[in-house]
Every structure is written in C-alpha cells, then in structure tokens.
Amino acid sequence: MQKYIISGGRPLNGTVSISGAKNAAVAIIPAALMVRGVCRIENLPDISDTDTLLRVLEIMGASVRMINRTTVELDCTSVSLDGLSEEVWALTRRIRASYYLIGAMLGRFGRACSTMPGGCNFGVRPIDQHIKGLNALGANVRVDGGFIRARAENGRLRGARIYLDKVSVGATINIMIAAATAEGRTVIENVAREPHIVDLANFLNSMGADVRGAGTDVIKVRGVPSLHGGTYALIPDQIEAGTYMAAVAAAGGCVRIENVIPKHLDCISSKLREMNVEIEDGDDYVVVRRDGLLCHADVKTMPYPGFPTDMQPQIGAVLCCASGISAVTEGVWDNRFKYFEELRKMGATVKVDGRTAIIIGVDRLTGATVRACDLRAGAAVVIAGLAAKGVTRVEDVQYIERGYEDIVGKLRALGAEIRCVDEPDEPTSRRTDWLAG
C-alpha cells in the first residue's frame, strides 16, 4: 500500500495554489445529471472522489470529456436509469456524496435508485432530513437492503415548503437539486450556508434554474421544466486552503496561499491569529507566517460561518504543538476525535471527554507510524508529521487522496520532505475498508 514518509521539522516557504472545492464538485457533478446539453465544469479538483462520480455518470450513459486536468465537458443528454448496475453500486458505496444522485435522478426522471452512501465514520450519519425534504416534494422514498429508492407521484416532483429540523449541508443540497425542476415553488428553511451551497445554486442558475437565497438560511427555488448546458467554474476549496494555513502554523515558515476567497477563510484566520500566526489577506490570496511560539486557543466547530468541522482535526494537530491548554469542542459530529489516538503515538497529550478534547501542548511532537483514519484525520497526521522531530510514516493515504489534489507535490514545492512510497504495511497496523465520505 502507498504511504507517505515525512521527515519533519522543516519550515514551509513559498507559494501554493488551491484547487477547486471538493464538496462543491461532489454536489455539482451529480447535479449535472439534470442538464440536457453540454455542461463544462472548470476548476475541478483532480481527486479520487470526483473521478468516482464522473465514472458513475459515464456508466449511466453520459459523455465525459476531460479537456485538461481541471476542466471537464459532460453531456448527460443520453443518460438513463438503465445504466444502473453493480458497477455503479460499487462506486456509489464508496462516497458520501452519492446521495445527491437521488435528488438529481428524481429531478430528471421522476424516479431514483442508489446505494446508501459510504462515508467517513464520525458516528451516526442519518439521512432523515434528505428523506423528509424529498417526501415533501412528492417523492415516495424507501430505504431497504442498503438501497434508497424513490419515485415521484405522477412522475414529476412538485414544489413545497420544507423546514429542516437540523442544519444539514447534504439535505440542503439534495433538496435544492431536486426542487430545481419540480413543478412550482419550493421554500427550504433553516438551510446550511456553506460556500459550496452558494456555488451549487450559482451552478444551477447558470444552467437555467431559478434558485435564490443561497448563503442565507432560507432558499427559494422556482422550478423550471429542464436545465440547459453552460459553463461553470468552481470556487476554491476553503478546507484545502485552511489545511495549508494550519500546516504553516504547525511547521513554521511563510507561505502565500493563492486562488482562495479570503472571506471564506475568516473564521480559520481569526483562530490562527489568536494562536500567534500572522495572516495577511489579499484579493485572492492569503500570506501565512509563523516564526514565534504558538499559543493555546479554544475552538468550537459549528455550521458556516462558524469554525468548520472539516478543519477540526487539522487545528487539533496544530494545538498539540502550542503552549498551554486548549479545548476543542466538536459541535457537528458525534465522534470526530479518533485521530488523537494517532497523534498520541507522536507524543501529543490529549484527554477526550464526549465532544470535547482537552489538549496540553508539548514542545515538540516526534515522528511515528500513524494512519489516516479518514480524509481530514489524514490531513491532521500529515500536519503533525511536518512539525514533528524525526520520521513519520502515514498509512492509509488513499483517504487523503480522495480530497486533496497532489498534496505531496504541493508540500514538496514548499520545502517539506515528504514522499509517497509503495511498501507493505507494518503487521500491527489496523486495516479498514476505505469507504469514503
């Protein structure tokens, strides 16, 4: 299996360019299923999750043409549900975002079928709000035998007023996609406001939909009969940018992080400034510098514009090297602290009590063999390895490559000593199926 070998303790310096947003891409590719005509998507991240979804559309009959590494032309005019097969299910089981295919198939065909989504294991990951929303739009949804099946009464969804009982990124996206071609008006209340929700709304609108209010807590969709082709460029990845910011904070140095929307990084920048990291905002870049001691800080994750849960492991790794005692509270997922087991192998001192972790910063972490428990947990151990004294070996890196484009190449260009090698696992390492999320 592939591993990363990191010789830590070198500061990061130079410039890194951020790729398109993973969580926008994994919503927009399924949404493209609704488009009749050629849909050109630019600034697509080159990661395994997008490859998986593009392959699903291809098996279902779409023409998928890569124009270059980050631009794809998709034509889903000839897609049909006849293409659904074991080959599709093997792919949809791997990724969380496959549930967006349900909203898109319902919107396009009035019927849908997919597997229950895979996903990083952060405790229970219910989909009741997705089902509530799709039911309200007139779909009869059944979950059995590991599959989700749905059918619209009279073959077409109809607009409705929907209140989400929980602020859910996934449910907001799925309902928005399905409502785009429903008959009449849909109002979705208490929605998520993450940047990729706005990106999806902009994508749908550029293909002829009428979606308003994305970025606020009420989204209004006036259904249109169908979506037409067009061109759309994805926003930069807020979490990839935050991950490089955290890496500089942990390893020290000075890095210009380009192709970002600094506004999307405000909550991350504020927290890092509290920790004695200097951050300068430009129009589409930030410069991150750390040369003094890191200070402790308390962090609580919340839906946007709060501190993102998808940055919690990376900031947790930085706090392990900060002076003093920090408290990290996870406000979104039940169980997103498994990565601390790995960081403890590197000398981190952490006590976890339910949804709060108390970290007592140490002067220096030390290299060890650790595994990427999931995508962001993987980023956290890489960050810890960059800051640590000695050599860190990171196993199960396939998780990391689901969501970070060329992380090894980007870090090497900043002066990190990191390389990817193919070697057998140590006998003690625990293996898991790498279903993704």
Catalytic residue positions?
120
Q: Are 249 and 290 in contact (CB under 8 A)?
A: yes
In the bound state with ligand EPU, the residue whose beta carbon lies nearer, of 169 and 414, is 169
Site size with ligand EPU, rule: CB under 6 A: 25
Residue 436 CB, nearest approach to ligand EPU (Å): 9
Q: Are 87 and 59 in contact (CB under 8 A)?
A: yes
- Near ligand EPU in 45-64, by CB under 6 A: none
23, 92, 115, 238: residue in contact with ligand EPU (rule CB under 6 A)? 23
Residue 238 CB, nearest approach to ligand EPU (Å): 10
Find, among 386, 389, 397, 333, the residue nearest to 365 by Cα. 389
The structure tokens 């919107």 sit at 107
Q: Which residue minimizes CB distance to ligand EPU?
A: 170
CA distances from 356 to 152, 204, 316, 338 (A): 43, 38, 11, 12
In the bound state with ligand EPU, the residue whose beta carbon lies nearer, of 78 and 140, is 140
Residue 336 CB, nearest approach to ligand EPU (Å): 8
Residue at 342: amino acid letter: E
203, 244, 333, 404: residue in contact with ligand EPU (rule CB under 6 A)? 333
- Token readout for 279 is 């951050």
Burial 374-391 (b: 16+ CB within 10 A, else e): bbbbbbbbbbbbbbbeee
Residues with Cβ within 8 Å of residue 190, at least 6 apart in sequence: 163, 164, 165, 167, 217
Alpha helices in 127-237 (DSSP H): 128-136, 169-179, 195-206
Residue 335 CB, nearest approach to ligand EPU (Å): 10
Residue 197 to residue 176: CA distance in whole angstroms: 9
In the bound state with ligand EPU, the residue whose beta carbon lies nearer, of 50 and 294, is 50
- Near ligand EPU in 109-168, by CB under 6 A: 120, 125-130, 166, 168
75, 199, 240, 310: residue in contact with ligand EPU (rule CB under 6 A)? 310
Q: Provide the mask over 351-380, with x wherever binding to ligand EPU is found by CB under 6 A and - wherever it is not.
A: ------------------------xx----
| Pairing between β-strand 71-75 and β-strand 35-42 as defined by DSSP bridges | antiparallel
Q: Does 97 bind ligand EPU (CB under 6 A)?
A: yes
Residue 407 CB, nearest approach to ligand EPU (Å): 14
In the bound state with ligand EPU, the residue whose beta carbon lies nearer, of 96 and 220, is 96
Residue 45 to residue 37: CA distance in whole angstroms: 22
Residue 78 CB, nearest approach to ligand EPU (Å): 27
- Positions touching ligand EPU (CB under 6 A) are 23, 26, 96-97, 120, 125-130, 166, 168-171, 192, 309-310, 332-333, 375-376, 403, 437
